[in-house]
Amino acid sequence: MESVIERIEKGHFWKFHGGIHPPEMKFLTKDKPIRPLAMPPELTIPVQQHIGEAGKLIVKAGDVVKKGQALTQSLMPLSVPVHAPTSGTIRAIENAIIAHPSGLSELCIKLTPDGEDKSIARHITPDYTSLSKHDIIEKIAQSGIAGMGGAGFPTHIKVNTHAQINYLIINAAECEPYITADDLLIREHSTTIADGINILDHLLEPAFILIGIEDNKPEAIKALQKATANNDKVKICILPTKYPTGGEKQLIMALTGKEVPSGVLPSKLGIVMQNIATCFAIAEAVIHDIPLTKRVVTVSGRALEKPQNVWALLGTPVEFLLQQCGYPEQQRKHIIMGGPMMGFSLPNTQVPVVKITNCVLAPSEQEIPNDKHEVECIRCGQCADVCPSQLLPQELQWSAKANDQQQLETLNLFDCIECGACAYVCPSHIPLVHYYRVAKAEIRQQKQLDIKAEKAKKRFEARKARLEREKLAREEKHRKAAEARKARMNSGTEQANKEKSAVAAALARVKAKKAQTSNTENVENKELASDQQDKKSQVAAAIARAKAKKQAAVQESSPAQTESQPPTPENNQGDENKKAQIAQAIAKAKAKKQAATSQDTEVENHEELNEAVKVAPVDDKKARIAAAVEKAKAKKQVAPEKPSELDTDKTEETAATNSPADDKKARIAAAVAKAKAKKLKEKNPQSAPTTVDASTNEEQEKEVAITPPLEASEEKSAQALDKKARIAAAVAKAKAKKQQAESK
């Protein structure tokens, strides 16, 4: 450490890699005193002017504010408030274009000055040492001070470090061409700056204070030497002019020979850096209780008639500054906020001056031409020679154009400080920095997406693990409960025996039920078991009858004839009208179905079904059952190639639920339908549709010979329902068997 100071005292400094010597152009403004400006007609104060979070608004449109009154409140550590630069009325709080390369709009407070410039009460503290460190830091924070060199990092965070500070470096390099704001500020306010430096000294207690200043500011150097003569810690380091000496890492390298490792804050090395304009603001805030509401802005460029430095209130539109410096209409081509190396183009002149605005540049067309014709890179390597971060700009450029993010990170893209030296020297006029900015943004975006995806994956895996865990726990619980039960049952107590028998009974019941369900296919069994044999048998009979008719119809194989037949039984039986009607409907439908080939569409079948329903309007329930049965059958017929048992079952189920009162009947019908469906299904897959039809017809012919007489006798003996039912069932069974045999 001793050697560092010795070297500095000898005026020997380190060299950082690269750097360029662009035309300084500082002569345009360096000899003009800082001019206070008239009050602009309106101030546009962006709520956020620093890095970090915006403060919370504490005023609203229409409020009357005084100079120095806080307009926002900082609630988070990384936020600083903004203040009213003058007294006036808040006209509106709305979005306006802010000083940012994106040209995006953000929330701004529009303040109309009243011209009185009335200030809030100030508490001047001539002796800052009477304040505690905490109070000073609080004052700095409440005064809205953020780094005025360009980045706008909240100052109170930087000065509130607990690290042992060896070097407090004051950055007065001002290496960008054109800008003389700091130069003039030092010349005119060196004592206030010295106060600010002393306050920082008091807060940070560094071993040495190094003021880095380029040798192109001799008057400022003299002023600083004079103002800081009483502080032995202060060393004024006069550095050779080279861009970008004012870069934080470059200045640290030049003054101390230390490299700040990538991704590490300088405070880790015991170094804190503050801009010289920030020192002025600190002194103003701590001693004079004046918040940061104005700053020195260099308004320069050959397009202006009177380039100069001005005291601009924060929020002053650039247009107002340019007017004050004479900006002829025909020269209006290009406005840059900041220097020519790192500044950004403004989309219009309404953009306000903010805390980090050190320069507004209005170059003439000859000065900064807009004729950047990018040509192919010839790998000349001049970019690598001037890069202060020792990157390989041309290789970065290849990778950026190829969007090779992995390679970009290997080449340390994120160590690029965007100083623009590479693009400045590029003979092919490649906007290198622009490519890097785009690549950086893309990588950041990709990283965010990756983080999101990673989070989603974690969430999913956590959920899976939880479900698995719960399942295991549940199983474990069940197993334990079962074991406990078993143990209890086997314990031999009376209660256990009871439980055992109860379980056994339950099991028996379940078995019985199962047996019953399996028997539903057997119509006979079911009929015997059921209480309402009447109804059931009626349905069965109807089905049987319908079948008979259907067979007859098939024989005639003419839909017209089929339709003419049904009325006969209807007339004959007065009492059983209803039944007959249903039967008729079913029969009709079946007949049609049979007549139709396997190519029949479902639509047709539905139509037929509808007809059937119309014919049998009297007994709704029964009809519905029949319809359901029919539907199921029809469906099966239509799609014999790909029969879906599941669908059929569903249809049957629906039919059953449609007639809750006639549950049993429905079930019987369903069973019958199911049986038939099975038969058909068994048959169909084995032979081509035409063959199926042929065989069915043949068989049905046989049936017809037997069935009609039976049917007739049944109908006449209306009382012997039992028998009828049984016969019907038998018929169904027989048919089923025949069909089965046939199919085999």
* Residues 6 or more apart whose Cβ sits within 8 Å of residue 95: 105, 106, 107, 108
Residue 44 contacts residue 352 (beta carbons within 8 Å): yes
- Bond from prior residue into 244 cis (ω within 30 degrees of 0): yes
From the number of C-beta atoms within 10 Å of its C-beta (0-12, 13-18, 19+), residue 197 rates as buried
Placement of tokens 């027989």 in the chain: 734
Q: Which residues does 609 contact at the CB level (< 8 Å), separation at least 6?
A: 589, 627, 630, 631, 634
Nearest approach in angstroms of CB 363 to another protein is: 7
Which residues, listed in sequence order, are joined to residue 119 by a DSSP beta bridge? 67
- Between 379 and 513, CB nearer to another protein: 379
Closer residue to another protein, CB minimum distance, 2 or 376: 376
Beta bridge pairs of residue 95:
107
Nearer to another protein, 72 or 394 (CB): 394
- As a residue count, the chain comes to 744
**DSSP annotation of 28:** G
| Minimum distance of another protein from residue 452's CB (angstroms) | 29
Q: How far is the CB of 344 from another protein (least distance, A)?
A: 6
For the bound state, the minimum distance from the C-beta of residue 49 to another protein, rounded and expressed in Å, comes to 20
Measured distance CA(643)–CA(577) in Å, rounded: 36
State the Cα–Cα distance between residues 728 and 581, nearest whole angstrom: 18
Min CB(241)–another protein separation in Å: 16
Coil, helix or strand at residue 119: strand
Nearest approach, Cβ of 210 to another protein (angstroms)? 19
**Of 666, 380, 601, 651, the residue nearest 395 (C-alpha):** 380
Q: How far apart are CA 417 and CA 439, in angstroms?
A: 14
In the bound complex, what is the minimum distance in angstroms from residue 65's beta carbon to another protein?
32
Give the residues across from 108 on adjacent strands: 46, 94
Residues in a beta bridge with 298? 309, 359
Cα–Cα distance, 192 to 277 (Å, whole number): 10
Q: Which is nearer to another protein, 176 or 693 (CB)?
A: 176
Q: Which is nearer to another protein, 378 or 465 (CB)?
A: 378
Find the shortest distance in angstroms from Cβ 94 to another protein: 22
Residue 550 tokens read as 């259907």
363 vs 358: CA distance, rounded Å: 16
DSSP string computed for 452-512: HHHHHHHHHHHHHHHHHHHHHHHHHHHHHHHHHHHHHHTT--HHHHHHHHHHHHHHHHHHH
Q: What CA–CA distances, in Å, run from 625 to 303, 542, 646, 665?
A: 95, 11, 19, 8
Report residue 420 as tokens: 């623009």
d(CA 489, CA 484): 9
Nearer to another protein, 36 or 347 (CB): 347
Closest to 269 measured CA to CA, from 151, 132, 164, 142: 164
Nearer to another protein, 171 or 190 (CB): 171
If the CB atoms of residues 30 and 550 are measured against another protein, the closer one turns out to be 30
CA–CA distances in Å: residue 712 to residues 3, 542, 556, 681, 733: 128, 12, 20, 31, 19
How do beta strands 308-313 and 294-300 pair? antiparallel
Q: Measured from the CB atom, is 337 or 728 closer to another protein?
A: 337
User: Would you say 608 and 592 are in contact if contact means Cβ atoms under 8 Å apart?
Assistant: yes
Quote the least distance from Cβ 253 to another protein, whole Å: 8
Least separation in angstroms between CB 357 and another protein = 15
Least Cβ distance, residue 30 to another protein (angstroms)? 18
Instruction: Kindly state the smallest distance separating residue 426's Cβ from another protein, in Å.
Output: 8
In the complex with another protein, the residue whose CB is nearer, 103 or 640, is 103
Residue 633, token pair as written in the block: 């059958």
Smallest separation (angstroms) from another protein to the CB of 85 = 26
CA distance 368 to 196: 37
The structure tokens 């044999």 sit at 533
β-pair partners for 243: 20
**Residue with Cβ nearer another protein (359 or 595):** 359
Q: Which residues bind another protein (CB under 8 A)?
A: 16-17, 22-23, 103, 177, 249, 253, 259-264, 332-336, 338, 340-349, 361, 363, 367-368, 370, 372-373, 375-381, 384-385, 388-392, 394-395, 411-412, 415, 418, 420-421, 423-429, 431, 433-434, 437
CB of 387 to another protein, least distance (A): 9
Residue (371 or 494) nearer to another protein, CB: 371
Please tell me the distance from the alpha carbon of residue 87 to that of residue 268, in angstroms, as a whole number.
Answer: 43
Whole-angstrom distance, CA of residue 607 vs CA of residue 589:
9
Of the pair 335, 669, the CB lying nearest another protein is at 335
Which one, 282 or 413, has the nearer CB to another protein? 413
CB of residue 349 vs another protein: minimum separation in angstroms?
8
Q: Which two tokens mark 363?
A: 């170059």
Nearest residue (CB) to another protein, 394 versus 648 = 394
Residue 308: φ, ψ to 5°:
-165, 175
Nearer to another protein, 247 or 566 (CB): 247
Q: Shortest approach of another protein to residue 390 CB, angstroms?
A: 5
